[in-house]
Every structure is written in C-alpha cells, then in structure tokens.
C-alpha cells in the first residue's frame, strides 16, 4: 500500500509511535510518506520505502500564528493526488485530522476512496482536545474519520465520555522494539554514573506539567533519606526543567541528580536503570514506561489513565495513588531492600513488554488498514 502518515516530530509519545510504525510498515514492503514540520528524531535520512515530506509554513508578517493546518492540508492534497495514496493515517487529532478532512474535501471525488484513519494518543483528547477552544472541531473531525483507533481502553472510553462520537473506536496498543530495547548493560556507562552498590532511578519525559517531574525529585529525596545510596537520572527536557532543578537544590539532593537532556539512545540509559518513575497526572498509555519495562526495569507509577493497564501492581512494579510521593518512595525502598523481589519484578517487566512486540502490533494496524480501505472502496464503488 501507499500510506501517508502524519505525526509530530517532537520528543513525545505520538511522534515516536508514528515514526516507529512507519518503519515497521516500510519493512513489510509498504511505501510510506511521512509528513511533519520537521524530521522526527527517530527517522533516519536513509530509510528504505520511507520518504519524508517537510511541511514548511510561509511566515508572512501578517500571521502572528502561521496556519500550519492549512499548509499541511495542501501537502496532503499533493501527496494523495501525485503519490496515489491508498490511505492517510494521522497521529494526534489536532490539527492533523482536520487538515486531512479539508484535503479530502478539496479533492472531492478524486479522493473519495482514500480513508482517513485517526489514532488518538492522549492530550489530543484528555487536555487540549477537551478545551472548549478546540472541542467542536475535534469532535467533528473524529466523526469524519473513516477509522479511529486509540492507544488504550482507557483512552477509548474517555473519548466516548468527553465527545459525541458516532464512530467505532478500535484499541490498538502502543508497541516496542524488543531487540533495541533490551537489557544490555554497558559497564563503562554505569561506572561513569554510580559507584559499586549504588542504585539508579530514571525518569524520561518531555517535562510538561502533566508529567509531575517534581514528584520524581520528592520520591528520590525520600529514598536517599531512608539511607539508600542512589542516583537519579532525568532524561528529556521541557517547561518544568528549571522548576525541578530548583526543587532538587531545596531538597539538598542535587549532587545525586543528573540532567542528561534529550538522548537518542535512551535504551543505553534504561539498561542501567534499577527503577523507572512515572508519577504523571494523566497518561493514556505510558510508552516511556513500556520502553523501560522492555529493558527489564520495574516501574513505579501513578494510577491514572492507562497506566494500570500496562504496569501491573505488585508484579511489574508498583502502582500508587496520584501525588502520593510517600507511597511511591516506600515502594522503591521495598524493592531496593529485597533483591529477590527486585529480580522478580525486573523479569516480569520484560515479560509484560513482550506482549507489546512491534511486529505483532504493526500487523494489527495493517489488518485494520485493509479493513477500512476495503469498506470505503465498497461504499464509494471505487474502480482502480
């Protein structure tokens, strides 16, 4: 198939899923056209069967807010027409689904057989999409999609609850490359960070408020105060970075905290880690936690959204009440005080991650595409 994929290029979940899915589909022989305003970090320049199409915006002085959604729609029009796309798969509803709807309207009968498939990821529903300034447009655009998927059962139910949806939403979970994300401890890296016997606690995110990075520092400081020798690694960057740095100074734990910034080979860091912390206020799936689990790292998370679907309490780590940093610290201390428990959880985390194997989930998308393409072609009586 000729597949158009649209996603964000940023250091966040939906962009990673769109990119890794593109690579998986390309490996299965599909031709993928990836559209975004910049090349995603995980998309190499030379990928067989993938072309990257940069959507550039004309920054005319009149535009305080250049209309990216319109530039994207124009790009979609060109690709549907000249690359003969069989389908358009957009990741994150805002504004991608709306641009896709507009592109199809522009092309009329020429694109009637090309389905729009929207994958809902998270904040496009739970935070941004539910904001009154976007809600009617998001609701309309989702209903105009020919196929809709959500990355967890939680997100599907939440979408039905917050919007008036007249479409079936299929749950296709996020996935992980088990070969890339496997435990492979590079001793020289570990030695550069910790001394013998010290533990490593890791957090990876885009440091938005919703990630509650300050809770990570609070948990870590309690673990240190319990007499456990450990280092905390913060991977990623974003708006809360300076707030959490200030908090670490206040808590007096700065010398044990390393801010590593955005990292390409995050699997090297996860491989060294003994526990992964995800205290988020909202998390529809928790892809970063899945990647950690795949590297055999138990997760201590909050109990929001799709996290309890992924992280099994008492098995692959612990699930604690949102904001309960004391409970989170107690669970980390419990794990670090019991080698058998920690080893069991490390193994269980990897076993759980194996249920989200990349190829298996890419095949689910492929089957879904075939179903939606066939259904639309029949509906519009398309003759190739």
The residues binding ligand GMT (CB under 6 A) are 12-14, 17, 92, 121-123, 126, 151, 174, 206, 210, 282-287
Q: Which is nearer to ligand GMT, 174 or 221 (CB)?
A: 174
Spatial separation of the C-alpha atoms in residues 251 and 256, rounded to whole Å: 11
Q: Which is nearer to ligand GMT, 40 or 122 (CB)?
A: 122
Report in angstroms how near the CB of residue 169 gets to ligand GMT at its nearest: 14
Q: Which is nearer to ligand GMT, 111 or 176 (CB)?
A: 176
Report in angstroms how near the CB of residue 305 gets to ligand GMT at its nearest: 6
Q: Which is nearer to ligand GMT, 301 or 346 (CB)?
A: 301
Query: Which is nearest to 114 in space by CA: 1, 226, 246?
Result: 1
Report in angstroms how near the CB of residue 293 gets to ligand GMT at its nearest: 13
Report in angstroms how near the CB of residue 128 gets to ligand GMT at its nearest: 9
Report in angstroms how near the CB of residue 297 gets to ligand GMT at its nearest: 16
Q: Which is nearer to ligand GMT, 130 or 174 (CB)?
A: 174
Q: Which is nearer to ligand GMT, 141 or 206 (CB)?
A: 206
Radius of gyration of the chain (CA): 22
Cis amide leading into 137 (omega within 30): no
Q: Which is nearer to ligand GMT, 104 or 156 (CB)?
A: 156
DSSP β-bridge partners for residue 259: 234
Determine how β-strand 199-204 pairs with β-strand 275-278.
parallel
Q: Are 29 and 3 in contact (CB under 8 A)?
A: no
Buried-exposed string 233-251: b where 16+ CB fall within 10 A, e elsewhere: bbbbbbebbeebbebbeeb
Q: Which residue is nearest to ligand GMT (CB)?
A: 13
Report in angstroms how near the CB of residue 320 gets to ligand GMT at its nearest: 17
Report in angstroms how near the CB of residue 367 gets to ligand GMT at its nearest: 19
Q: Is 235 helix (H, G, I), strand (E, B) or coil?
A: strand
Q: Residue 308, class by beta-carbon neighbours within 10 Å (0-12 exposed, 13-18 middle, 19+ buried)?
A: middle
Query: Which is nearest to 21 in space by CA: 113, 92, 94?
Result: 92
Residues 6 or more apart from 384 whose CB is under 8 A from it?
Answer: none
């Amino acid at each position: 198939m000729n597949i158009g994929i649209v996603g964000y290029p940023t250091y966040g979940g939906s962009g990673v899923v769109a990119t890794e899915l593109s690579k998986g589909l390309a490996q299965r022989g599909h031709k993928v056209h990836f559209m975004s305003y910049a090349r995603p970090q995980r998309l190499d320049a030379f990928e067989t069967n993938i072309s990257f199409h940069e959507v550039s915006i004309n920054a005319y002085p009149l535009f305080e807010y250049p209309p990216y959604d319109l530039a994207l729609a124009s790009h979609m029009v060109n690709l549907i027409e000249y690359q003969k796309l069989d389908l358009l798969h957009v990741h994150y509803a805002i504004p991608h689904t709306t641009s896709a709807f507009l592109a199809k309207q522009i092309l009329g009968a020429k694109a009637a057989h090309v389905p729009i498939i929207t994958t809902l990821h998270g904040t496009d529903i739970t935070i941004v999409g539910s904001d009154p300034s976007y809600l009617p447009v998001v609701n309309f655009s989702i209903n105009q999609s020919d196929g809709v998927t959500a990355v967890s059962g939680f997100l599907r139910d939440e979408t039905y609850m917050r919007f008036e949806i007249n479409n079936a939403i299929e749950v296709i979970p996020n996935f992980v490359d088990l070969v890339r994300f496997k435990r492979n401890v590079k001793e020289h890296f570990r030695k550069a960070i910790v001394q013998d016997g010290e533990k490593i606690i890791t957090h990876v995110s885009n440091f938005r408020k919703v990630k509650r990075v300050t809770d990570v520092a609070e948990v870590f400081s309690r673990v240190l105060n319990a007499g456990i020798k450990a280092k905390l690694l913060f991977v990623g960057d974003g708006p809360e970075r300076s707030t959490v740095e200030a908090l670490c100074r206040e808590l007096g734990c700065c010398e044990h905290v390393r801010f590593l910034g955005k990292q390409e080979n995050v699997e090297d860091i996860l491989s060294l880690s003994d526990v992964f912390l995800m205290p988020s206020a909202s998390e529809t799936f928790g892809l970063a936690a899945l990647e950690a689990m795949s590297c055999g790292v138990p997760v201590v998370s909050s109990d929001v959204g799709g996290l309890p679907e992924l992280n099994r309490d008492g098995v692959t780590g612990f699930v604690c009440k949102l904001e309960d940093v004391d409970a989170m610290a107690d669970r980390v201390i419990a794990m670090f005080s019991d080698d058998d428990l920690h080893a069991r959880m490390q193994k269980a985390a990897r076993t759980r991650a194996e249920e989200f194997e990349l190829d298996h989930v890419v095949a689910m998308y492929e089957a879904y595409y075939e179903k939606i393409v066939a259904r639309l072609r029949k509906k519009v009586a398309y003759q190739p």
